[in-house]
A and B are shown apart, each in its own frame.
Chain A
Amino acid sequence: MTDPLYDKTGGDPELAALEAALGDYAHRAPLREPPPRRVRRPARVIAAVLGGALTVLVVVVLGRRGEPGCQGDGAGFAFAVDGAPARCAGSPAARGTLPVGAWLETTGAATADVRIADIGHLTVFGDSRVRLVDTGAAGHRLELARGRIAARVTAPPRLFVVDTPVASAVDLGCAYELAVEPDGRTRLRVTSGAVSLEARGRAAYAPMDTEVLAAPGRGPGTPVALTASAELRDAVARFDAGDRTAVAAIVVAAGPGDTATLWNLLAQTDREDRAAVFARLDALTPLPADISADAVRAGDPDAIARWRDALVDRWMCVGCFGKSKR
């Protein structure tokens, strides 16, 4: 007697259809290279090593004026470099632990895999410079001075932050890429979940499949969908550069895939422009009945935030509401 459920013999069309659909979630990722094992040594060896290390430490401290090393098991983020040499705290390093205060610098062909405590991973691409600012129960903070990183985090919102020269990327979800471009701008591209790009008292909420720029002296701009039209991108660039008349062009160019752009504009426009943005957003995705339209038009932060909460499902749903399937 066949038992398709237990030993996969025989045929059961309903079961096969369920397997085919759920197979989308099957795990296929390769193993990430684990960091070196922590070696447990007898106490006498540890004492001898500590004695020697103390001597070396004095020399290093005097010679380097306190720059931390990267070979210890202390507090910090474990990392492994692939492709080309990297420098950690000024010294060549292929793997180790990035301590608080130290810089990790990659050259052109190098990529570094950095473990973000127990909440995620970071890929540091070539020609990048990152520093661990702080790590602890209250959160983890990095600084990206130049180059590009990709982060994937499993943690409550706002526990992981990356500072760039012009903004801070505050993790609210799963995965994103962050780059400091040669002209000083910061570019954030969210691939999963959501990220808040913050600076100068402003915050841009960038959900999955959007990107946003922050420019020196201006703070974060307005997120646009990766699929946004050239017309919309051009209008958003003008708006972010200070041209308030661009709102009309944004409203005209915005389609079903651009609701994140419109939602962000609600908090960045004055009453008249906000009314136009509201009308377009409401036409594309009607305001829920339990949120006051007058409150949104008046710029009430709570009402605007509640509309965002209602829109999140739409933003995270790939393949529906006009968003293209990647």
Chain B
Amino acid sequence: MALAHRRAVDVREATVEELVIAAQGGQRAAFGALYERFHRVVHALALARVAACDAGDVVQDVFTDAWHKLPRLREPAAFPGWIVAIARRRAIDAARRRPPLAPSADLAIDPPPRLEAAAALRAIRALPDTYRETLIMRLVEGLSGPEIAAHTGMSPDSVRVHLHRGMKLLRERLGEGGER
């Protein structure tokens, strides 16, 4: 283990734990691989709280923060829950610094989204925290339920329940004609 962090890992085949150990030792390629695996989850947590044009910056801030703090993460296997916690905290801080979300705030991205996408995102944001985060991971970032579970530390059953309950609420609200 002592030399593990000095050995270059195959970032395509490595487990999250192996990537974390390598990144703790300073391997930027390993950290890049962690980014590839987790950036969509982090973005979903940000998008649940801040405007689309700001969510990308929250992602970069989270990973910059993670790069500096990673050597102090004692249990590499805890990385998914750890990065999710950093992301949630950063997103909440960013939301506090910004004025309340205006409908136009989600249109100011490049390339611009469809208007129905902005309306659907607003409807998701109006759901309780647990449902909106999982739904954004699934519907915006395209992660499957098992992937969401693996990347957040939630149990597969919890993810399934959150997705179905959240989707039921979302369909009701979109069906009311207010958002689509």
Contacts and interface: CB of A to CB of B under 8 A. Distances in A.
A26 B140 contact: yes
A41 interface: no
B43 A27 contact: yes
Contacts of A185: none
B120 A21 contact: yes
A156 B159 contact: no
Contact of A34 (B31, B51, B136): B31
A174 interface: yes
A272 interface: no
B57 A326 contact: no
Contacts of A208: 108
A113 B78 CA distance: 31
A138 interface: no
Contacts of A65: none
Contacts of A173: 53, 108
A29 B71 contact: no
Contact of A6 (B59, B97, B145): B145
B64 A22 contact: no
Contacts of A21: 113-114, 116-117, 120
A319 B40 contact: no
- 6 closest A-B pairs by CB: A27-B43, A316-B104, A24-B113, A6-B145, A318-B112, A34-B67
13 contacts: A22-B120, A22-B139, A29-B59, A31-B63, A115-B64, A121-B57, A152-B57, A154-B98, A173-B53, A174-B108, A317-B107, A318-B107, A325-B111
Interface of B: 26, 28, 31-32, 35, 39-40, 43, 47, 50-61, 63-64, 67-68, 71, 94, 97-99, 102-117, 120-121, 136, 138-142, 144-146, 159-160, 163-164, 167, 171
